[in-house]
Structure 1
Amino acid sequence: MKKILLLSLLTVFSTFSFADEGMWFLMYLKRMNEADMQKKGLKLTAEEIYSINNSSLKDAIVQFNGGCTAEIVSGNGLVFTNHHCGYGAIAELSSPEHDYLTNGFWAKNHAEELKPKSLYVRFFVRMDDVSKRILGLVNNSMSEKEREKVINQEIAKIQAEQSENGKYVVSVRPFFNGNEYYYFVYQDFTDVRLVGTPPSSIGKFGGDTDNWEWPRHTGDFSIFRVYADKNGNPAAYSKDNIPLKPKYSLPISIKSLKEGDFSMILGYPGRTNRWMNAAGIDQNVKYAYPAWVEASKVGMDAMKKYMDKDQGVKLNYASKYSGVANYWKNRQGMIDALTKHKTAATKYKQEKKFDKWANKPANKDKYAGVINTINDYYAKTNEKARHDNYLIGMLRSSTFAALPASLGAGLLQYAQANEAKRKEILPRLEAFITDNYGDLYIPLEVDVLADELNLYANKAGTIAPYIKELATKNNNNFQKDVQQAFDVSIFSSSEKLAAFLKAPNEQVLANDPLLKISTALMDKYRETNPEFDQLNDNFLGATRKYVAGVLEMDPNGKHYPDANSTLRLTYGTIRALPKDKRNDAKINNYTTLKGTIAKYKPNDEEFDLPKRLIELYENKDFGRYADASGYLPVNFLSDQDITGGNSGSPVLNAKGELIGLAFDGNIEAMAGDVIFDPKLQRTISVDIRYVLFIIDKFAGATNIIDELNIVE
């Protein structure tokens, strides 16, 4: 999901008592969750959710392009995910003449479906525990680097063993901060095509203003299709490919939802940090996140100035701007929530209890001093965290902060090579240039880089030496230097790079001003030293011991690991927040099309609406998608534990039928990346009835509706 917050553990000192907390491994559902889920209302067995030998719910859940979740909803490989998850692909396929991002797109048949350059879905095949195998090769006398080397060597062996000669993608991942290891087997399909998307005035309704907020009225969905070769295997794009025949596709329920109904979510949550210590929270709130927020806003303002003037520029930068804006609001929300709820203070109390246990005679040899080591690390890296987040904000916003350095090494190799070697290298360089320069707008890039460098030089502390040298000369105002650099640099256009490839010259590279700036920034980003290496080594060992100690201290606890982009299940109920006067709904667990229309602002970038949608509302032409009470539902709330990466995840009812697509979390629970709040935590989803209404009544795409298994 474009956002949706982060997960792991409610309190590390007691068993979990809330069904809506936890992101659970599917292979352990039978042992750890099945009975509780069925008690809460689940009508399925664990085997029907996750089976290795038979088709099951997990076969319909895919990771979408590495950063979101999606689900198979038809026997012909049709995929639902969020609009913001498909945003980059939709923007790429759009042009001022065919502006699918603004106006929407609906393929009437397979031949009209559009193929983006690069898009894939990943199916989960199976997983297994390899903790004993890996951890049996390491010991406490090893340094972290020695430990890492041994573990990585064994991981490579496991991945080779399970890949079946390249048929599968295999990933071995650490859990509980390196106290457990599991391998995951996947199969990737790269021929994925756009089938349908609503206009952005529906799919992104509310924009940055409503982002992370409730009540919401966003039709955050898009539709794709997975293709395979004639034998059903993954294949590169070809006109001869056919729609995938999946092992399982989700039925769709258009029945009414009510408070307390059981629901569950399967998806690929990105990352949580609930094992993070109090000092780490303080570092984020006081040093890291404020720098991230400030750098993001500087980049956004520079981009938007040009995006507002030119629709082509707006389309080309829409995905980048959206990504920066999302985390800009996310990080500010986290600062506010972590501060308001005094999360660090809660963690300090937990650590004090742990420290007391760790210093008992029976535990002292293993765990004494662990908290002190962790606190020492954060105390000595606070200023580094501030610097690094100003720099990261620049790298996320400015293409040219990193691009010249990324390309420069290859160009230098090319310049130094003989004629035969150059012929070998040339196609890769040309492909890289084509991929990275096609949609760039240089006036925008000049201002983004200059503004970010101004902020970096003024606020980031001990900055990159070459940037410091320039800042001293230009009095911390980089506008003129950056403009002059773009005027003469070979990296400022694909044409100049093409000319360099025809007549390569090492001296030209050595003196290139954009390459000097970019190299200085990337060298600083990668900078390390023996003192920091040792500090980090101590910290990694201490955090691993801390987690191991908590697990040992509470052996009967129902623990689960932090999210790390592996498939998980979380369950809970449809659950309201306290009544909100901004929401016309009778119960504050859903919103309606009436509320959407109430927010309508003609020609407003965030709150405009298509005329067709307003007409459907005025005529109450909701078809079979209206609730039994007569309103058309738009979004709803549930209390599952989700985070970024869960965007697009299916929300399922007790029978495993699709009732919505998760797309966001609520800003009140923004501290959820480090601590779970059972009172505040909510998942915001688009009601599947609104999705179907838009496809059917708004777009008239009945060919899509006809594919679906809709349960009345």
Structure 2
Amino acid sequence: MKKMFKILLMVFMVLPLSANEGMWFLMHIERLNYVDMQKMGLQLTPEEIYNINNYSLKDAIVQFGGGCTAEIISKNGLVLTNHHCGYGQIAELSTEENDYLTNGFWAKDYSEELKPANLSVRFFVRMDDVTERILSLVNEGMTELEREKIINQEIAKIQKENDEGGKYTVSVRPFYSGNEYYYFVYQDYTDVRLVGTPPNSIGKFGGDTDNWEWPRHTGDFSLFRVYGDAEGNPAAYSQDNVPVQVKYHLPVSMKGYEENDFSMILGYPGRTNRWMPSAGIDQNVKYAYPAWVEGSKTSMDAMKKHMEQNQQVNLDYASKYASIANYWKNRQGMIDALTQHKTAEAKRAKEEEFVKWINSKDKKLGGKTGQAERIKNYGNVMDAINNYYEQTNVKSKDDNYLVSVLRGSNMITLPNRLSRMMSEVMESDAMDEVAFDEKIQPQIDNLYAKLYMPLERDVFIETLSLYANKASNPIESLVKMKDSGSDIKMQLGQLFDASILSSKEKLSQFAKNPDRDAYISDPLIQLSNELFTAYRYESDELKVLGEQYQKGFRNMIKGMREMNPDVTYYPDANSTLRLTYGTVRPLPLGAKPNDAAVNYFTTLKGTVAKYVPGDEEFDMPQRLIDLYNNKDFGPYADKMGHLPVNFLTDHDITGGNSGSPVLNAKGELIGLAFDGNIEAMAGDVIFDEQLQRTISVDIRYVLFIIDKYAGAKHIVDELTLVN
């Protein structure tokens, strides 16, 4: 590992791309990537990947729940994604009596499939380039607000032109910070039901300890199904709905893979910032991320002590805790990786080259435009960017402590969720008991159904006291508490206890006899309003700085692309469908040893070796141990007799790619991506060809768990298996 960390990362967005770098639009694959992909082993045509007139791979890839990716794996709308992507829905459907999160769940037929309250999948229909249409309407003489207004007006026209009367959702998105625009057409389905999930001890094996680490041994998958009306159209949940008969579903490979095999991933990567300037990296490493890490850990510690004492509380808060914990480790990994690899210094050197290019009189160096024109277009770009970060460094720290409060404490966000109901109560002249019980009480019951008030009280106190003590400019109420001489945690506890929101019973009693003045003056509601006001506040000075930065950043990207006309670029991720490709590939020098004979996959042997009875992260079901001891792997073992569990590829992915299918050269499913590696945690900002890896669960392990462990072979029988 020491050797790996000594590799000095000098990758920057304007250097020639490595073969496996890039998150590419499907409509550009034929022009930009196809020859390269063929040389690496691809056996499909571009039309088999993306075609708007006939079925293609893109028809089997869906955005899951707005934040993950999933794939269709049967003609009957069966959806495969990560366990952690379905975690919230699995937890929501779980109770102490039917604890699917802990014990797993496998529907025997359609009638047993379970409908979460809110879950949707989004099918991609088509995309197109509208850059020329939009940018022809704006010019550099406009303010950013003028520019934004005109662009938004044109976006509204494009959306209306392509939604076919509301049948489709149309999204027009900027790329390269507003230097290009594309529209995307989607079809959304909201009746999505849980079909199967392994228990936590398989789906989340390794917990936070193994998160972002290699080797991994996690069965991170879950199964859902898309339902529609009798004609296959999107429809609200109904018992009359039927499984959607899809255009295309992925065939599943039983063959596996070898090192250096071509592979590709299609998915919805959330966000990268590969063009982030050096000053932005410095701000994140020194100000924003440390506050994020500390705030997240404070929330986690306050939650965990209650979750460990009560299983129902553990179920109710499992998804929220997992989400906070994931980004807590991610942000600390970002700090470490960006610092270790001196990424800001590498980018700063390239920015100096950019400034040199702007001011150069050398025609060969300058490219198509002359010095005067370059100075006019780009001369103040880096000054505007650097000034913005210099002026907002401290604010970024304060904002992240504040956001940790809003992210961690449900009680701070509760007044916003209550506002419509309380307005109705206040405006009603009188509401009899029957009307209250039928209309208002169920809303209150629903709001408090998953809240455990001792936990909420502790999170409220701990996160707010951290913000009060660590922010340079906290809200006035907290400043007064600090200056009072009394313990701030004690004061926050008293404030919480005095609020009508501190229990369901107190709020119900108040709502029966509401008093507008008492509601407005409630201390917790006042504090919530003050926090959200601070969160949304933007001074006139900051607005000016923001406009200068936005224009400067857009022109920095434009200028750097102009400076390097021979470089092929890909746009930053922004939750739009992309393809990334590479090979099955182990980590380089000093890679951590694992349980297999090679370092690019792990096996069930290693899972059993990590087993710690009763441990929250490393416990295992006895049935899985028995299957291992008996070597009862069915047809899912590899040719050496191993049962593969997880494997490595060198794909370029990020958050949002969770659940993405890993496909072989023929477009057959060999696994699904679920994580990256800690060594390349800076991947959202830079791409490291040597260290960047994707960790995926082997599809054969998925099938083994469904068939041999769960006895749900009827699900496997739905699939198209390819030997």
Q: TM-score range by the shorter chain?
A: over 0.9
Structure 2 letter corresponding to 1:336: D
Shift of 1:414: 5.2
Structure 2 letter corresponding to 1:492: S
1:16-415 to 2 correspondence within 5 Å? 16=17, 18-360=18-360, 361=371, 362-408=373-419, 411-412=422-423, 415=426
Contact 2:208/2:326, CA 8 A, preserved across alignment: yes
Shift of 1:427: 9.6
User: In 2, Cα distance between the equivalents of 1:642 and 1:299?
Assistant: 28
Q: Report Cα offsets for 1:334-367 as digits up to 9, x if no partner.
A: 0000000000001001100111112232411100
Contact 2:12/2:346, CA 8 A, preserved across alignment: no
Q: 2:13 maps to what in 1? A: 12
Shift of 1:496: 3.5
CA distance 1:426–1:388, shift in 2 (3 Å): farther
CA distance 1:675–1:581, shift in 2 (3 Å): closer
2:697 alignment partner, SS class: strand
1:674 aligns with 2:675: no
CA distance 1:418–1:135, shift in 2 (3 Å): farther
CA distance 1:419–1:159, shift in 2 (3 Å): farther
CA distance 1:55–1:435, shift in 2 (3 Å): farther
CA distance 1:229–1:555, shift in 2 (3 Å): same
Shift of 1:394: 1.5
CA distance 1:565–1:430, shift in 2 (3 Å): farther
Contact 1:402/1:521, CA 8 A, preserved across alignment: no
Structure 1 letter corresponding to 2:329: K
1:586-665 to 2 correspondence within 5 Å? 586-665=597-676
1:425-574 to 2 correspondence within 5 Å? 433-473=444-484, 475=486, 477-478=488-489, 480-574=490-584
Q: Which runs of 5+ in 2 are unaligned?
A: 1-9, 361-370
1:363 alignment partner, SS class: helix
User: In 1, Cα distance between the equivalents of 2:309 and 2:664?
Assistant: 45
1:624 alignment partner, SS class: helix
User: In 1, Cα distance between the equivalents of 2:316 and 2:113?
Assistant: 21
User: In 2, Cα distance between the equivalents of 1:504 and 1:158?
Assistant: 47
Contact 2:73/2:251, CA 8 A, preserved across alignment: yes
Shift of 1:503: 2.9
1:575 aligns with 2:576: no
CA distance 1:428–1:460, shift in 2 (3 Å): farther
1:636 alignment partner, SS class: strand
Structure 2 letter corresponding to 1:239: Q
Contact 2:436/2:512, CA 8 A, preserved across alignment: no
User: In 2, Cα distance between the equivalents of 1:262 and 1:551?
Assistant: 30
Contact 2:215/2:594, CA 8 A, preserved across alignment: yes
Structure 2 letter corresponding to 1:114: L
Shift of 1:162: 1.1
Deviation larger for 349-358 or 296-305: 349-358
1:695 aligns with 2:696: no
2:484 alignment partner, SS class: helix
Q: TM-score scaled by structure 2?
A: 0.94
Contact 2:676/2:693, CA 8 A, preserved across alignment: yes
CA RMSD of superposed structures (Å): 1.9
Q: TM-score scaled by structure 1?
A: 0.96
Contact 1:134/1:154, CA 8 A, preserved across alignment: yes
CA distance 1:425–1:28, shift in 2 (3 Å): farther
Structure 1 letter corresponding to 2:571: P
1:33 alignment partner, SS class: helix
Structure 2 letter corresponding to 1:394: V
Q: 2:368 maps to what in 1? A: none
CA distance 1:37–1:427, shift in 2 (3 Å): farther
2:501 alignment partner, SS class: helix
Q: Report Cα offsets for 1:491-549 as digits up to 9, x if no partner.
A: 23344334444333211112101101111111111111100100111000000000111
- Share of identical aligned residues, percent? 63
User: In 2, Cα distance between the equivalents of 1:669 and 1:580?
Assistant: 13
CA distance 1:250–1:431, shift in 2 (3 Å): farther
Q: Which runs of 5+ in 1 are unaligned?
A: 1-8
Structure 1 letter corresponding to 2:557: V
User: In 1, Cα distance between the equivalents of 2:610 and 2:486?
Assistant: 46
Shift of 1:49: 0.5
Structure 1 letter corresponding to 2:310: D
User: In 2, Cα distance between the equivalents of 1:419 and 1:175?
Assistant: 53
User: In 1, Cα distance between the equivalents of 2:198 and 2:624?
Assistant: 11
User: In 2, Cα distance between the equivalents of 1:609 and 1:358?
Assistant: 61
Contact 2:593/2:599, CA 8 A, preserved across alignment: no
Shift of 1:48: 0.4
CA distance 1:476–1:266, shift in 2 (3 Å): farther
User: In 2, Cα distance between the equivalents of 1:548 and 1:129?
Assistant: 17
Shift of 1:469: 1.8
CA distance 1:434–1:64, shift in 2 (3 Å): farther
Structure 1 letter corresponding to 2:277: N
Contact 2:23/2:579, CA 8 A, preserved across alignment: yes
Shift of 1:431: 7.3
CA distance 1:171–1:425, shift in 2 (3 Å): farther
User: In 1, Cα distance between the equivalents of 2:232 and 2:502?
Assistant: 44
Structure 2 letter corresponding to 1:637: L
Q: 1:4 maps to what in 2? A: none
What is the total number of aligned residue pairs between the two structures?
Answer: 700
Shift of 1:425: 13
